[in-house]
Amino acid sequence: MFAFFQGLMLGFGVAVPFGPMNVLILSYALKSFKNAFFLGLGAMSADIFYFSLLLFGLLKFLNNELMSKILAIFGFCFLTYLAFLSIKTKPKNLELKESKEKNTAFKSYVKGFVLNLSNPYIISFWLSISSFLSKEKHYFILGFGLFVAIFIWVFCLSFFVSRFADKFNAKVLFYINIASALIIEYFAIALIYKTFFV
């Protein structure tokens, strides 16, 4: 149960920061819940793909202690960088602009999948937490919790923005980013602790 809860925390920490994908979901949601939701599902599918690669390949490779420590340091630096980016984003840069693009649910799904699949930040993120996952006994349950959290976030973000678009101003998004940054940094510190002090 603790592994599932950790997965939920990590999932929300990853999904909630308002980077390009979330802003794109928001812009779609201003016009269509369905398109915004499928865009998010496409992005989540890319995450599942990378998680699967870790389970069937990279996690075994991490049995090497030196590589595990190298990736742990890389993971700490990258996760801390993500947290920093979330905190430094100014509220005025989070203003929403309604998407004028016409998309079907399928096209939205493919766009989300391709964008996340080709995003170097997403690739770096999965590499950065590979060491963390390798040290978890119930990493599959943790991964399940992670994707449950991402799914909940994608659904809620698409649904509530589409229903209450006028309530999501830049200031609200800024405070959400602060909370997300704190969660991400918790996992960055936990990664270093589990690698070097346990």
pLDDT at site 110: 93
Residue 124 has pLDDT above 90, yes or no: no
Report the distance separating Cα 33 and Cα 155, nearest Å. Answer: 9
Instruction: Please name the residue that has the structure tokens 């996340």.
Output: 116
pLDDT at site 78: 84
pLDDT at site 86: 75
The mean-pLDDT minimum among 18-27, 33-42, 54-63, 66-75 falls in: 54-63
Q: Tokens standing for 133?
A: 């996952």
Q: What is the mean pLDDT of the chain?
A: 81
Residue 147 has pLDDT above 80, yes or no: yes
What SS3 state is found at 129?
helix
pLDDT at site 156: 95
Average pLDDT over residues 151-177: 83
Residue 115 has pLDDT above 60, yes or no: yes
Average pLDDT over residues 5-29: 82
Task: Please indicate whether residue 42 or residue 183 has the higher confidence score (pLDDT).
Answer: 42
Question: Which DSSP category does 94 fall into?
Answer: G
Q: Tokens standing for 73?
A: 């340091």
192 with 72: CB under 8 angstroms? Answer: yes
| 46-58 pLDDT per residue, tens | 999 888 888 776 6
193 with 23: CB under 8 angstroms? Answer: no
Average pLDDT over residues 133-138: 74
What SS3 state is found at 101?
coil
Q: Which candidate, 169, 165, 171, 166, places its Cα nearest to that of 29?
A: 165
Average pLDDT over residues 140-169: 88
